Structure 1
Amino acid sequence: MIPIQLTIFFMVIYVLESLTIIVQSSLIVAVLGREWMQIKRMSSVDMIFISLGFCRFFQQWSSMLYNFCFYFNPNTTFWYIGMIWEFTNTLTFWLTSLLAVVYCVKVSSFAHPAFLWLRWRILRLVPQLLLGSLMISCVAIIFSIIKNHIKFQLIAMMHLPGNNTVTERIKMQKYLIFQYLIFLVIPFLLFLVSTISLIASLCQHLGKMQRHNIGHHDSSLKAHFNALRYLAFFLIFFTSYFLAIFTAITGILLNRRRWFWVWETVIYAIVSVHSTLLMLSSPKLKKVLRARCWSLETA
């Protein structure tokens, strides 16, 4: 067993990470929401950003409520809180993949007619795609509700000897877990394809710029290097988050009860860094962060 002092340490780190994510999400919603109120319009990227902000805000609160309730009352079911987390987690995956797709079609320099048509269509269909992501997440949560219902039935039937229904329901539960994972794997694959395509496009464009003897101190060249660095971090951290969530759902590596707070700390450290990278990738949010840092330095 992990010593109680170490458990408390990881618990405190988890709370600090959660509060950081909540503040980051609130800042995204506040900044972009205020701008929308002022100019009465919002870009496609900002629509996804503000949706992600709302989603991450509720996801983190539900995570904190569920984790503390589960840890201190393991024999009590808190399925309704868990459903909120699963719904917002699924929606986060789809919104992140949509953001990657929009960045890819907006920034990539591919000149194929099919790609140009895709760019024209996607940038105009972002509101409908956001609604589609919401509907897909609602469908995914139905599988989770059925899975939890079967889980409660299994717990109730475990004490009955020679009950063949238990085996059938265990198979059904595994099937539903597999179905739910599909709703996470598909947006993750979309994210991978879009991000890798964008990296390939930027590398191709960067090679052309260097062949034309543009100096390394040129602002455009620096911007490309910074974009590639951000994309590499996005790829690493979102992939790490997917693998962590996949491991937690399937339970293939760790004893959840024994390593509970260590695992939660790792997962939400990744989320916190990923949220920070998202904020730094937005010029509007970066401007607000710089202004606040400057005001703190001069205070």
Structure 2
Amino acid sequence: MIPNQLTVFFMTIYLLESLTIIVQSSLIVAVLSREWVQVKRLSPVDMILISLGICRFLLQGTSVLYNFCYDFNPDDYLWYIALIWEFTNTLAFWLTSLLAVVYCVKVSSFTYAIFLWLRWRILRLVPQLLLGSLMISCVTIIVSALRFVFIKSQLISMMQLPGNNTEMETLTTFLEKNYAYQLLAMLFIPFLLFLTSTILLIASLCQHLRQKRHHDTGHSNSSMKAHATALRFLAFFLIFFTSYFFTIIISTTYHLKHKSYWFWASETIIYATISIHLTSLMLSSPALKKVLKDSISSSPLGISLIILVLFTLTY
């Protein structure tokens, strides 16, 4: 079956977004790894960014491989690739939530005892927290692997018995809903941590900005401008990661078919938010921001990047 023009259009956009994400992830890992080799040390935030870059690279690679292989050969259910995607997606959520928590504790101006204690402890615990995120993702993937084995055994046993089409459809529908609930449970906790940390950081910056307005000097005006830019960045960060979370849940709940252009439209939305999310992360790192400026001044591709950067910072 030849896909229609709308499906081909969304497939093309999805492929371009995937290439962009792979390049962005590779750039994050390459630049920060070079900084690590040169300086002989790595900040806790850069540790998380490198881990997230590797995770996003693997996530996008498995997404492209699974979607196109399944679309052109739907009879071959590539469950092992789906497991890799699920593992990297869960790990990416935990790494993003960890990054939001570190930013919140490091930057916020709250003076509560819990914040002061976390500020003293969390930066030292980042390697252990990264390992904990990896272990949690491994546990979830073991559960998913057991679920896939159960599905396969049940379907094989039903196929051997005649007249069980209704039971097979009922089992498939139940397992699809069960998978949606499992995915929601796996992603909800890290998403809640991300949401809470980002909202607290926005509240802290708003409080600090109100205090700055009482001291109307030239220096405070520049500081207020910097705070306003940081607030726009955080709002941008919050909106797109939240959109990513809900788009994944909705697309999984309704189980869109690969042959449908709605499926490819949902994939386009999901990975557009990832690309914009990675762009915002790159703008938050001084080393990555410097590389972006250098690439802008030395290549035609930099022109398009600077347009995206200026759009992000301005709006």
Q: TM-score, normalised by structure 1?
A: 0.91
The Cα shift of 1:39 comes to 1.1
**CA offsets, 1:124-174, max 9 Å, x none?**
100000000000000111121122223323433454346999668975774
Q: Which amino acid aligns with 1:233?
A: F
Aligned equivalent of 1:225: 228
Aligned equivalent of 1:7: 7
Unpaired runs of at least 5, structure 2 = 304-315
Once residues 155 and 259 of structure 2 are traced to their aligned partners in structure 1, the CA distance between those partners, rounded to angstroms, is 18
Does the CA contact (< 8 Å) of 2:158 and 2:164 recur in 1?
Answer: no
Does the CA contact (< 8 Å) of 1:94 and 1:133 recur in 2?
Answer: yes
The Cα shift of 1:79 comes to 0.8
Unpaired runs of at least 5, structure 1 = none
Once residues 112 and 220 of structure 1 are traced to their aligned partners in structure 2, the CA distance between those partners, rounded to angstroms, is 24
Q: TM-score, normalised by structure 2?
A: 0.87
CA separation of 1:213 and 1:22: change in aligned 2, threshold 3 A: same
SS state at 1:218 partner: helix
The Cα shift of 1:120 comes to 1.0
Identify the match of residue 203 of structure 2 among 200, 205, 211.
200
**CA offsets, 1:48-68, max 9 Å, x none?**
000001000111111110000
Q: Which amino acid aligns with 2:265?
A: V
Aligned equivalent of 1:287: 290
Identify the match of residue 239 of structure 1 among 242, 258, 278.
242
Once residues 290 and 165 of structure 2 are traced to their aligned partners in structure 1, the CA distance between those partners, rounded to angstroms, is 63
SS state at 1:211 partner: coil
Aligned equivalent of 1:134: 134
2:280 corresponds to 1:265: no
The Cα shift of 1:2 comes to 10
Aligned equivalent of 2:152: 152
Once residues 90 and 67 of structure 1 are traced to their aligned partners in structure 2, the CA distance between those partners, rounded to angstroms, is 18
2:183 corresponds to 1:212: no
Once residues 214 and 21 of structure 1 are traced to their aligned partners in structure 2, the CA distance between those partners, rounded to angstroms, is 42
CA separation of 1:104 and 1:14: change in aligned 2, threshold 3 A: same
Q: Which amino acid aligns with 2:189?
A: I
Once residues 183 and 268 of structure 2 are traced to their aligned partners in structure 1, the CA distance between those partners, rounded to angstroms, is 23
Does the CA contact (< 8 Å) of 1:206 and 1:224 recur in 2?
Answer: yes
Does the CA contact (< 8 Å) of 2:25 and 2:53 recur in 1?
Answer: yes
Does the CA contact (< 8 Å) of 2:244 and 2:270 recur in 1?
Answer: yes
Once residues 216 and 247 of structure 1 are traced to their aligned partners in structure 2, the CA distance between those partners, rounded to angstroms, is 47
Aligned equivalent of 1:101: 101
Q: Out of 278-287 and 29-38, give the one that drifted further.
A: 278-287
2:48 corresponds to 1:45: no
**CA offsets, 1:165-219, max 9 Å, x none?**
9668975774465334212100000000000000000000000001222459832
* Number of aligned positions between the proteins: 298
Q: Out of 138-147 and 31-40, give the one that drifted further.
A: 138-147
Q: Out of 208-217 and 14-23, give the one that drifted further.
A: 208-217
State the percentage of identical aligned residues: 63
2:187 corresponds to 1:187: no
Q: Which amino acid aligns with 1:51?
A: S
> How large is the RMSD of aligned CA atoms in angstroms?
2.6
CA separation of 1:82 and 1:96: change in aligned 2, threshold 3 A: same
Does the CA contact (< 8 Å) of 1:150 and 1:169 recur in 2?
Answer: no
Once residues 2 and 200 of structure 1 are traced to their aligned partners in structure 2, the CA distance between those partners, rounded to angstroms, is 52
Does the CA contact (< 8 Å) of 2:180 and 2:249 recur in 1?
Answer: no
CA separation of 1:10 and 1:172: change in aligned 2, threshold 3 A: closer
Once residues 229 and 130 of structure 2 are traced to their aligned partners in structure 1, the CA distance between those partners, rounded to angstroms, is 28
SS state at 2:213 partner: helix
Does the CA contact (< 8 Å) of 1:154 and 1:170 recur in 2?
Answer: no
Once residues 290 and 163 of structure 1 are traced to their aligned partners in structure 2, the CA distance between those partners, rounded to angstroms, is 60
